[in-house]
Amino acid sequence: MIQLQVIDRFSPNQGARPEPARIDMLVLHYTGMTAAAAALERLCDLDARVSAHYVVEENGVIWRLVPENRRAFHAGISCWEGERDLNAVSLGIEIVNPGHEWGYRAYPEVQMASVEVLCTDLISRHAIPAHRVVGHSDIAPERKADPGELFDWQRLARAGIGIWPPVNSSEPGREIDRTQSLGDLATIGYCATEQSVSSALIAFQRRFRPSRCDGRLDAGTAARLSEVRAAFDRARRAYKVRARPCRSPAK
């Protein structure tokens, strides 16, 4: 295994975790800025009020800005499995990429290799369950698109990070049961109201069916929802926890 090397840099944008502390979630982001240096500046700028525990540059260099036992300010207004104060229970990794606004591009192999090593280390030390490894857009689908459809979740899942079941479904002509599909979405962990269903579906597609992220509940998306939900069910059973579908979404 590659040795994990990090460079420490202090961000004032941090706080205490509630007692008793629980860390059981990992949130992956992209920085969404043109240059890594500017992103690091911002994540350490008191006025910006944003931070993350780690930043991974495109050349694979890893920075630690906030100690893991402290709360970093990365999730913002968000929700997963009906839970809202996600900064309290999560670790956040910012992965350098210009993002959709500034020239979204593929994540280089050397960067993904560092992300993989870092995630593996965090997941094993904190015993973070697979169904609690998410992208920012999964927990804030109306506000966020990161890390986006170019992020290779499949690769991470092969390394035991998060959930990405193989695509078996493509059943053309399959009936779409909207109630069933939205139930699958909620059971996976997405929090969506009727108004935000389309955003939540785009977030789901970015992560699990990146070939078309249009927010439409087509037959392929419905089939994928069903198989992803089954994979999340299996993962939760392995951790002996039950699904907590979001029943009282924000707004």
Place of tokens 């785009």: 202
- Contact between residue 251 and residue 196 where contact means Cβ atoms under 8 Å apart: yes
Nearest distance, CB of residue 160 and Zn ion, angstroms: 23
Interface with Zn ion, residue 207, by CB under 5 A: no
Task: Confirm whether 94 is a catalytic residue.
Answer: yes
User: Of the candidates 128, 136, 151, 120, which has an alpha carbon nearest to the alpha carbon of residue 72?
Assistant: 136
Interface with Zn ion, residue 146, by CB under 5 A: yes
Among 13, 23, 25, 29, interactor with Zn ion by CB under 5 A? 29
Rank residues 213 and 231 by Cβ distance to Zn ion and give the closer one.
213
Q: Please classify residue 123 by burial: count the beta carbons closer than 10 Å to its beta carbon, then call 0-12 exposed, 13-18 middle and 19+ buried.
A: buried
Rank residues 146 and 149 by Cβ distance to Zn ion and give the closer one.
146
What is the rounded distance in angstroms from the CA atom of residue 48 to the CA atom of residue 103? 23
User: Of the candidates 220, 180, 215, which has an alpha carbon nearest to the alpha carbon of residue 200?
Assistant: 215
Nearest distance, CB of residue 202 and Zn ion, angstroms: 15
- Main-chain dihedrals φ then ψ at residue 79, nearest 5 degrees: -160, 135
Q: Positive or negative, the Cα torsion across 177, 179, 182, 186?
A: negative
Complete edge-to-edge strand list for the sheet that includes strand 62-64: 6-8, 62-64, 54-56, 90-95, 25-30, 133-135
Which is catalytic among the residues 57, 81, 83, 94? 94
77-96 residues in contact with Zn ion (CB under 5 A) are: none
Rank residues 43 and 235 by Cβ distance to Zn ion and give the closer one.
43
Stretch that binds Zn ion, among 14-22, 146-154, 173-181, 242-250 (CB under 5 A): 146-154
Interface with Zn ion, residue 136, by CB under 5 A: yes
What is the rounded distance in angstroms from the CA atom of residue 24 to the CA atom of residue 131? 10
Stretch that binds Zn ion, among 4-12, 28-36, 199-207, 233-241 (CB under 5 A): 28-36
Rank residues 143 and 234 by Cβ distance to Zn ion and give the closer one.
143
Stretch that binds Zn ion, among 42-50, 133-141, 160-168, 243-251 (CB under 5 A): 133-141
Tell me how many residues contact Zn ion (CB under 5 A).
3
Which residues of the chain form contacts with Zn ion (CB under 5 A)? 29, 136, 146
- Active-site residues, by number, are 94
